[in-house]
């Protein structure tokens, strides 16, 4: 096996797919990249068993002279490549010893590789559904929902994002039982109805890759795995098994009290006031009457308290309601536009948060936050 490739090109690809490699894997081969040369193309793969990413360098990016395959230690190779300027590197693999010789104009570097057949194979997808979606749209959908996922190992389905695909629109949903986000895209349509749950770690990796590209993502899923194909990448991940909770049942439909307030003013006020909140509940209280919004927090254990007043637009009964400030801040930060709309019913019922202005008819976002009981 023999090929020549630019150090810069190779490093860029390895840094992307290397994000899937776990630094503390108990399986030695998973600390490697799999290199495969076939028909003049170089395919490089990284995996942690659950997630597998591969990228292909074509003949105009690599000069592949001899077919073959080898697994190369990821950290050693990455650390070496980072020290080079953009220079051509020649990789020569000894099939008998699995030794890898990397040659540049100024030196030679020997690495001990491993047999390629020890590397886990990428799962084959027996497709039962799928869709095509713009890369930036998918990255945006992940960004808008992933912060609301949970960390409870006893409820794994809530540690992922629900992809609810339909022939008219697609929903992306995340919840940890304290907060919930439903992001709807009316311009994304699947070939058939289906629901799947994806873990947050690979979604974060996928989001980071997609946010730098402008291309179409081909999504295909089976009963156990999902595959994303875009550009020169193939991304395969194991799905979370289980039934997602009926999130629509917990979204209150009758919310007569409407509060609209300028987003940045509200966000900064909550950030300041929450510094003085109780460090167990992180509670801030919103007291709303007419055009007056009061934001309060206190920590009785340390005699700390804070108070701010904002002007708002409010249509409804006077109300005082408490929320976890950390959840509020996360949600408001993920609202687009200049103003935030709260839809409320009772102090002990969940509140709905939305953007006050809708920039695009193709998208819709609804956020739900559970209140914290106020002790007067």
* DSSP letters for 300-327: TTTTEEEEEEEE-EEESS-EEEEEEHHH
Q: Is 350 within a domain?
A: yes
Residue 114 lies in a domain: yes
107 and 167 in a single domain? The answer is no
Q: Across all residues in the chain, what is the average pLDDT?
A: 94
CA 55 – CA 157 distance, rounded (Å): 29
Are 304 and 363 within one domain?
A: yes
String of b and e for 28-57 (b: at least 16 CB within 10 Å)?
ebbbbbbbbbeeebbbbbbbbeebbbbbbb
Task: Give the CATH number for residue 78.
Answer: 3.10.150.10
Q: Which of 249, 268, 303 is the last residue of a domain?
A: 249
Are residues 137 and 70 both part of a single domain?
no
* Same-domain check for residues 150 and 90: no
Summarize the confidence of residues 321-344 as an average pLDDT.
96
Q: Which of 217, 249, 281 is the endpoint of a domain?
A: 249
Residue 83 CB contacts under 8 Å (≥ 6 apart), including other chains = none
199-218: average pLDDT: 95
pLDDT band (50, 70, 90) for residue 376: low
Mean pLDDT for 321-340 is: 96
Compute the distance between CA of residue 348 and CA of residue 370 in angstroms, rounded to an integer: 8
- Note the pLDDT tens digit of each residue in 236-273: 999 999 999 999 999 999 999 999 999 999 999 999 99
Q: Of 160, 183, 204, 182, which is closest to residue 20 (Cα–Cα)? A: 204
> Is residue 256 assigned to a domain?
yes
Asked if 325 and 277 count as a contact pair (C-beta separation under 8 A), the reply is yes
Residues 112 and 141 in one domain: no
CA nearest to 297, candidates 317, 267, 260, 271 = 271
Q: Which residue has the higher pLDDT, 274 or 358?
A: 274
Q: Average the pLDDT over 357-373 and give the result.
A: 91
Q: Are residues 256 and 245 in the same domain?
A: no
- Residue 26: per-residue pLDDT: 85
Domain stop point among 228, 249, 270: 249
Q: Is residue 374 included in any domain, yes or no?
A: no
How many structural domains are present in the chain? 3
Task: Please check whether residues 332 and 308 belong to one and the same domain.
Answer: yes
Whole-number percent of the chain with pLDDT over 70: 99
Q: Tell me the two tokens of residue 222.
A: 């089976």
Angle, CA 307 vertex, CA 290 and CA 177 arms, to 5°: 80
How many other β-carbons are positioned within 10 Å of the β-carbon of residue 348? 12
| Cα distance between residue 195 and residue 163, in whole Å | 6
**pLDDT > 90 fraction of the chain, expressed in percent and rounded:** 90
In a domain, 124, yes or no: no
Instruction: Indicate whether 264 belongs to any domain.
Output: yes
Confidence at residue 154, expressed as pLDDT on a 0 to 100 scale: 87
* Judgement on whether residues 332 and 281 belong to the same structural domain of the protein: yes
**Residue 376 located in a structural domain:** no
221 and 284 housed in the same domain: no
Annotate 249-301 with DSSP letters as a single string: GGS-S---EEEEEEHHHHHHHHHHHHTTS-TTT-EEEEEEETTEEEEEEEETT
Write the pLDDT tens digit of every residue in 12-43: 999 999 999 987 788 899 999 999 999 999 99
Is there a single domain that holds both residue 109 and residue 13?
yes
Identify the helix (H) or strand (E) that includes residue 21: none
pLDDT at residue 218 greater than cutoff 80:
yes
Report residue 233: phi and psi, to 5°: -110, 150
Q: Does 177 fall in a domain?
A: yes
Q: % helix / strand / coil in the chain, to the nearest 5?
A: 20, 45, 35
Distance CA 235, CA 204 (A): 13
> What element of type H or E holds 48?
none
Query: Looking at the structure, do residues 32 and 83 belong to the same domain, yes or no?
Result: yes
Q: What is the rounded CA–CA span in Å between residue 171 and residue 28?
A: 39
CB 2 within 8 A of CB 90: yes
Count of alpha carbons within 13 angstroms of residue 308, beta-carbon side: 17
Whole-Å CA distances, 248 to 105, 142, 348: 63, 19, 18
Look-up of token digits 């597998």: 52
Do 84 and 181 belong together in one domain?
Answer: no
Residue bearing tokens 């108990």? 26
Residue 39's domain spans which residues? 2-118
């Amino acid at each position: 096996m023999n090929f020549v490739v630019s150090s810069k090109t190779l490093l860029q690809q390895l840094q992307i797919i290397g994000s899937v490699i776990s630094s503390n894997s108990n399986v030695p081969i998973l600390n490697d990249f799999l290199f495969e040369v076939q028909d003049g193309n170089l395919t490089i793969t990284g995996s942690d068993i659950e997630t597998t990413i591969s990228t292909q360098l074509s003949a105009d990016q690599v000069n592949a002279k001899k077919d073959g395959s080898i697994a190369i230690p990821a950290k050693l190779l990455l650390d070496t490549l980072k020290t080079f300027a953009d220079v051509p590197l020649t990789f020569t693999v000894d099939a008998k010893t699995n030794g890898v010789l990397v040659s540049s104009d100024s030196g030679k570097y020997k690495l001990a590789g491993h047999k390629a057949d020890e590397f886990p194979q990428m799962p084959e997808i027996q497709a039962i559904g799928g869709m095509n979606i713009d890369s930036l749209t998918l990255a945006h959908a992940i960004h808008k929902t992933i912060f609301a996922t949970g960390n409870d190992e006893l409820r794994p389905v809530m540690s992922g994002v629900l992809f609810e695909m339909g022939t008219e629109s697609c929903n992306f949903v995340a919840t940890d039982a304290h907060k919930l986000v439903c992001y709807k895209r009316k311009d994304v349509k699947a070939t058939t109805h289906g629901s799947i749950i994806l873990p947050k770690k690979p979604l974060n990796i996928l989001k980071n890759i997609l946010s730098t590209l402008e291309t179409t993502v081909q999504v295909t899923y089976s009963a156990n795995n999902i595959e994303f194909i875009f550009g020169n990448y193939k991304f395969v991940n194991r799905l979370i098994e289980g039934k997602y909770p009926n999130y629509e049942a917990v979204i209150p439909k009758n919310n007569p009290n409407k509060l609209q307030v300028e987003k940045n003013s509200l966000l900064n006020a909550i950030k300041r006031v929450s510094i003085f909140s109780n460090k167990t509940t992180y509670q801030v209280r919103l007291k709303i009457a007419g055009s007056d919004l009061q934001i309060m927090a206190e920590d009785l254990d340390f005699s700390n308290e804070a108070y701010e007043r904002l002007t708002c637009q409010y249509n409804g009964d006077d109300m005082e309601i408490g929320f976890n400030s950390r959840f509020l801040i996360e949600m408001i930060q993920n609202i687009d536009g200049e103003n935030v709309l709260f839809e409320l019913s009772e102090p002990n019922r969940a509140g709905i948060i939305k953007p006050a202005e809708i920039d695009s008819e193709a998208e819709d976002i609804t956020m739900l936050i559970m209140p914290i009981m106020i002790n007067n």
